Amino acid sequence: MKIFKTYAPVLIGLLVGFVVEEYLNRRFDISSMLVLLIGFVGGILVSEWIKAVKKK
């Protein structure tokens, strides 16, 4: 369960990144790896933010 809590925000970030990439590819030609990287970093930031909020 701890593994799921650790990686769930990252997976959500990747999912959001994938959806955004699909949308942006229709509008602009953007690198999918760049969007996946943003999604991955975003997921890590969200997980760190959740941990910080839970500590309070």
Q: What is the pLDDT of residue 30?
A: 58
pTM: 0.42
Distance (Å, whole) CA 5 – CA 42: 15
Residue type, 17: G
Q: In which band, very low, low, confident or very high, does the pLDDT at 4 lie, cut at 50, 70 and 90?
A: low
Q: What is the mean pLDDT of the chain?
A: 72
Summarize pLDDT for 24-42 with one digit per residue, the tens. 666 655 566 676 677 777 7
Q: Does residue 1 carry a pLDDT above 70?
A: no
Percentage of residues in the chain having pLDDT higher than 90: 0
Q: Contact, 25 vs 32, CB < 8 A?
A: yes
Q: Contact, 33 vs 14, CB < 8 A?
A: no
